[in-house]
């Protein structure tokens, strides 16, 4: 096998291990929280050796940051797509609500992990991770732009768009935290309807 082909195969194998370990780590961290989780537990859940994990990730913090970073990138890409449609503000807000609910319903372990961190979705991550902070800042900026357009057009209440964007994030976090606390039994459509109704009461102009 040529040297380039061997290197490509090695990288592909490493990526497979990386994703497998991340999936296992997400499940374990969601169940036990960051502080209580041991790397050994993640290795056992993934069915790999400690050496395999440390060959891909230097430690637990890097694993944790990678999980949050990958989900952050995916969410940001989805928010960019919704924002880029250029639909009317209220319609865009409805699409954003569906996006967030769909994503967290599809990734319940990530939701539990995120809620366990205690981070405020309105104020952003308290972290040394530059990429995570940048993800939050751009998502928040896109939300604020939606509210800015809505305020200017008269669709939304007259209020600081940045404040409205933060309030929207708080509503999202509280709704999903309540859903998680009650066993995640409520169906997706009911969550979307509840969020949209609350958003209209809070943001739509009379």
Model confidence over 41-58: pLDDT tens digits? 999 998 988 888 898 889
User: Residue 6's pLDDT band (boundaries 50, 70, 90)?
Assistant: low
DSSP the chain: --HHHHHHHHHHHHHHHHHHHHHHHHHHHHHH-TTT--HHHHHHHHT--HHHHHHH-SSHHHHHHHHHHHHHHHHHHHHHHHHHT---HHHHHHHHHHHHHHHHHH-HHHHHHHHHHT--TTT---SS-HHHHHHHHHHHHHHHHHHHHHHHHTSB-SS-HHHHHHHHHHHHHHHHHHHHHTTS-S-HHHHHHHHHHHHHHHHB--
Q: Are residues 105 and 192 both part of a single domain?
A: yes
pTM of this structure: 0.88
Same domain, 122 and 66: yes
The mean pLDDT of 4-33, rounded to a whole number, is 78
Same domain, 13 and 30: yes
Same-domain check for residues 53 and 71: no
Q: Are residues 84 and 149 in the same domain?
A: yes
In this structure, are 155 and 73 located in the same domain? yes
Here the CATH number for the domain that contains residue 85 is: 1.10.357.10
Q: Which domain holds residue 8?
A: 1-57
């Amino acid at each position: 096998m040529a040297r380039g082909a061997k290197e490509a195969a090695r990288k592909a194998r490493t990526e497979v291990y990386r994703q497998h370990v991340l999936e296992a780590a997400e499940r374990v961290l969601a169940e036990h929280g960051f502080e209580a989780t041991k790397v050994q537990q993640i290795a056992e859940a993934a069915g790999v050796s400690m050496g395999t994990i440390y060959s891909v990730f230097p430690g637990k913090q890097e694993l944790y940051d990678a999980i949050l970073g990958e989900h952050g990138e995916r969410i940001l890409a989805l928010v960019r797509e919704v924002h880029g449609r250029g639909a009317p503000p209220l319609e865009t807000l409805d699409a954003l609500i569906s996006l967030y609910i769909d994503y967290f319903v599809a990734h319940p372990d990530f939701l539990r992990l995120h809620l366990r961190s205690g981070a405020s979705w309105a104020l952003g991550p308290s972290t040394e991770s530059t990429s995570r902070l940048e993800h939050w800042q751009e998502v928040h900026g896109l939300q604020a732009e939606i509210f800015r357009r809505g305020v200017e057009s008269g669709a939304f209440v007259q209020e600081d768009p940045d404040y409205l964007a933060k309030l929207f994030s708080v509503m999202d976090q509280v709704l999903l935290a309540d859903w998680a606390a009650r066993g995640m039994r409520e169906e997706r459509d009911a969550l979307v309807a509840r969020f949209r109704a609350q958003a209209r009461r809070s943001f739509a102009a009379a």
